Structure 1
Amino acid sequence: MSNLQNSTIQGFRPIIPKQPKILVLGSMPSVKSLEDEFYYAHSRNAFWPIIENLTGRSLKSISEKISALDDLGIFLWDVLQACERKGSLDSAIRNPEANDFEGIFTDYPEIQAVCFNGQAAEKLFRQHVLKHQSLPAGLVYRSLPSTSPANAKLKIEDKYLIWEENLRPFL
């Protein structure tokens, strides 16, 4: 897939823990994540270090990362199932197609909170999910700072604190 032209890309299947409590949503996998076929694969993305910080474990392999999410009850997915995009920037997303969240909340009614990995994920969710799908009342929505290395507004330590403060009540 060339990064020089818009390409239709498909998102990943969700990572579903045995007892999901929190749904963490990104927008769409980055080019690096698509190449590596796993969420948040860019070496400077803060997502996995934040999960390491929450669990107190070093997470090197994909199976260790999935196990950590399972232990925390974090359901990991993206707002979009497909879109056209040049490169990795959310601002380049065109023709977005949302995932089926009605089905997710029907199958997993124990999810209490939806946490957005960045403002773009929240905006896409509001535009393409909340306006078109019926979701349960009483869900808590939290917009968290993007873990992407493109979000250089906050130091990584500040991202850790904000994410932990917002996730911890549901863990």
Structure 2
Amino acid sequence: MRVHSFPPVIDERARVLVLGSMPGTASLEKHQYYGHPRNYFWPVLYGLFDRTPDAGYENRLAFAQSHRFALWDVIASCEREGSLDVNIKGELPNDLPGLIAQYPGIRCLAFNGSKAHDTFLKVFGSDRVLGSIDRLKLPSTSPVPTPRMRNAADRMEVWRAVLPFIG
């Protein structure tokens, strides 16, 4: 089944563009970035500021934007059954260069997991196609544990690398 990502959540305050691969099934059903209740994204983002996530999605988006974060996906559409990145096929990219041109305040691309990072490299190459914007390959906020990333606290420690870019 062909699935499509959401429009970007961004405004002129944005300094860090968090890039996922493609929203999972729960997120697509809710029409929400990181909509799966067990995904660590919102606890990690709020935790960077010693806060607990707001209950409402609109409040979460407002929090992200007020802290200079933008959200989007590397992939605009793809074929995928289920939610796993390993099942992604026939991906078409979003227009990241166009978005960056529209929002020149972006200082950092923060890749939420390997699939987002690897797809970016496959499509845009490893050169500085997007100018002097820094890139951070961060551990996925997926609830699936890895040997090094067992919980939200583990992920939050690595995600702290985004903080210097929002100042």
- Normalising to structure 1: TM-score of the pair? 0.89
Question: Residues 98-137 of structure 1, C-alpha deviation per residue, up to 9 Å, x if partnerless?
Answer: 0001111110111011010001110011112337x98332
1:120 maps to 115
2:65 maps to 70
1:41 Cα offset (Å): 1.0
1:86 maps to 81
Give, in whole Å, the separation in 1 of the partners of 2:22 and 2:72: 9
Give, in whole Å, the separation in 1 of the partners of 2:22 and 2:130: 23
Retained in 1: the 8 A contact 2:109–2:135? yes
Q: How many residue pairs are counted as aligned between the two chains?
A: 163
1:162 aligns with 2:158: yes
After TM superposition, what 4+ stretches of structure 1 lie above 4 angstroms from structure 2? none
1:106 maps to 101
Work out which of the residue numbers 127, 135, 153 in structure 1 matches 2:129: 135
1:57 Cα offset (Å): 4.4
Retained in 2: the 8 A contact 1:20–1:111? yes
- Normalising to structure 2: TM-score of the pair? 0.91
Q: Which amino acid aligns with 2:25?
A: V
1:4 maps to none
CA gap of 1:152–1:134, structure 2 versus 1, over 3 A, is closer
Question: Residues 53-90 of structure 1, C-alpha deviation per residue, up to 9 Å, x if partnerless?
Answer: 12324311111111111111111000001000011111
Work out which of the residue numbers 33, 39, 43 in structure 2 matches 1:39: 33
Q: Tell me the C-alpha RMSD between the 2 structures.
A: 1.7
Structure 2 gaps, min length 5: none
1:22 maps to 16
CA gap of 1:147–1:41, structure 2 versus 1, over 3 A, is same
Give, in whole Å, the separation in 2 of the partners of 1:155 and 1:94: 28
Q: Between the two proteins, what is the percent identity of the paired residues?
A: 34
Give, in whole Å, the separation in 1 of the partners of 2:130 and 2:91: 23
Structure 1 gaps, min length 5: 1-6
Q: Which amino acid aligns with 2:155?
A: K
Moved more, 93-102 or 57-66: 57-66
